[in-house]
Structure 1
Amino acid sequence: MNPSSASIAVTVVGGPTALLEWAGLRLLLDPTFDEPQRYGDHPDALEKTSAPAVSFDALGRIDAALVSHHHHEDNLDHRGRDLALTLPLVVTTPVGALDLGTRGGTARIIGLADDEGLALDDPGVVGAAVAAHAPEGARLVALPAQHGPDEWAERLGPVCGFLLSAPGHPTVYVSGDNSEVGVVDTIVARHGQVDAAILFAGAARVDDIDAPLTLTAERARAAALVLGARRVVGLHVDQWTHFSEGRDALEREFAGLESAAGGPLLAHTPLGARTEVAL
């Protein structure tokens, strides 16, 4: 674990989307910037209920987009995809990289398999614009994630999480649309515990699958304890009708849990605001 004086900053845009400031890098998580709309006419069509709390332009410099998966609008909507492709770097799943690579844009696109990593300080890998802001030894690793119960995971498609690490900086886990605490157990066994956990919660549900497709508040609490996180940031709890639990459910579940850094384990990260999260 890194010194308790370390911190990250998070600007919550809505849904899974946030700007993460870590170790000098500014990383956009799962870009969604469409206006409210319904995506199709079928019964399970996803519906966005509110506009982004922060505009893309207001976020300032962005070094890279980390896209947990490309094939569901609540993680990469139309405008979010187009904007991501203007950035210096997009990192996603291998199949996501293949798809995004056909859509134009100027971004360098990298697909990582589970437990595959890259050096964020290597301009030959991530490009000079990203490497210029990365500390020496900074690494990004793609992590396993499972989007729903075993019997539905293949239909719902490949998803990944991410692990950020660098000497002298906090380790940060981004869950992506993972619903299973057992997957988190595997991650900790392979990579160890972390300083900060950014968990996609909301207990997403659709009519024909009788199970949560992302972490419930109860599972988010369990995952945080397995991860040994000094602080938790909750995302993926607003702006979409298929999220069955909101921010209030997370707050109830984490009530009384204290951080080793002092204060509540669950960071208070208001929608639309930049929040520094002490670790």
Structure 2
Amino acid sequence: MSPKPLTASLLLATALVAGGAQAEADAPTQQVQQIRNATVKLTYDETTFLIDPMLAEQGAYPGFEGTHRSELRNPLVGLPMPVQEIIDGVDAVIVTHTHLDHWDEAAQALLPKEIPLFAQHAADAELIRAQGFTDVRVLEDSAEFRGVSLHRTGGQHGSDAIYAVPELAALLGEVMGVVFEAPGQPTTYVVGDTLWHDEVDRALERYRPEVIVLNAGAAEVDGFEGDPIIIGKEDTLRAYRAAPEATIIAVHLDAVNHMTLSRDELREYVSEQGIEDRVRIPADGDVISVGPDHAGR
């Protein structure tokens, strides 16, 4: 018995399903790859940024003096892939500030000196130029790069009490975050090394990001135990509530000595709070793809 021919309505339904699947496959996706620590590779279609590269081998540097667990050597773990694989395909580098765990000697030696590089202010730009880089740009407010809009945001790398100590204020210095926008892409906010601050609230209100990358390791300096210099688990919950449609990606965990919050502890907290539907805690090397529905996978 020969099969019956497809009816017109069934043909139409089949075409619609196939067309929908193809449209979903063709929809623009953004990729956020956790490399290690605060080092993230962010790709919008064909434009890729390497953010805060720390590329040294495990144990290359002493622990940060005057911080939690300073007896440990940094980085605490190795890179999840060869350095060349990390660098391949990178169109520009963004250095939110020049602390060693965001811009280290290995990155300075290994990255091409002509690569476009964005810094937070003239002082950092001058330092990076002195290290041999020839295309250093200051992200004063906003800039365009290959169809992607970059917007500088502010923050504070510790509490008012910590910044009241002149030596710590000088050590911690200034920091920035960056918002990325491009047509057809989810707006992404890389918050940077800050605790929760008015500047974070302003950025959330102004840009309404659909992806938020949090430096969430709750790092601490000696003498201020319980008063971290970057976001921790409670502010991960705060971000979840403040941006009710955003995918939140937690990084800056498990890789340098002064972090007091581990991935395992953050996962447990996220589960206890029932917020795992929109909070991602990638392992080193993991890639999170974010499509038009903003759901990180």
Structure ranking higher in strand proportion: 1
Map of 1:69 onto structure 2: 97
What letter corresponds to residue 25 of structure 1 in structure 2?
T
Counterpart secondary structure, 2:241: helix
Scaled by the length of structure 1, the TM-score of the pair is 0.81
Q: 1:270 aligns with which of 272, 283, 290?
A: 283
Task: Kindly indicate whether the alpha-carbon contact (under 8 Å) linking 1:251 and 1:266 is maintained by their aligned counterparts in 2.
Answer: no
Displacement of 1:21 in angstroms is 1.2
CA distance in 2, matches of 1:249, 1:40: 22
Alpha-carbon deviations, 1:170-229, whole Å to 9, x = none? Answer: 10000110112433112223x231110011110001213341011011112202332345
CA distance in 2, matches of 1:47, 1:152: 24
CA distance in 1, matches of 2:82, 2:261: 25
What letter corresponds to residue 117 of structure 1 in structure 2?
S
Map of 2:19 onto structure 1: none
2:37 equivalent to 1:15: yes
What letter corresponds to residue 144 of structure 2 in structure 1?
A
Scaled by the length of structure 2, the TM-score of the pair is 0.77
Task: Evaluate the alpha carbon distance shift between residue 40 and residue 181 of structure 1 in structure 2; reply closer, same or farther with a 3 A threshold.
Answer: closer
Task: Kindly indicate whether the alpha-carbon contact (under 8 Å) linking 1:32 and 1:74 is maintained by their aligned counterparts in 2.
Answer: yes
- Aligned residues, how many? 251
Moved more, 72-81 or 179-188: 179-188
Gaps of 5+ in 2: 1-23, 164-168
Structure ranking higher in helix proportion: 2
Residue identity (%): 24
Counterpart secondary structure, 1:139: strand
Q: 2:108 aligns with which of 65, 81, 85?
A: 81
Task: Kindly indicate whether the alpha-carbon contact (under 8 Å) linking 1:117 and 1:140 is maintained by their aligned counterparts in 2.
Answer: yes
Q: 1:96 aligns with which of 114, 118, 124?
A: 124
2:266 equivalent to 1:241: no
Map of 2:51 onto structure 1: 29
Counterpart secondary structure, 1:209: coil
What letter corresponds to residue 192 of structure 1 in structure 2?
Y
2:159 equivalent to 1:149: yes
Gaps of 5+ in 1: 121-130, 259-263
Q: How does 1:158-177 map to 2 (within 5 A)?
A: 158-177=174-193
Larger radius of gyration: 2
What letter corresponds to residue 51 of structure 2 in structure 1?
L
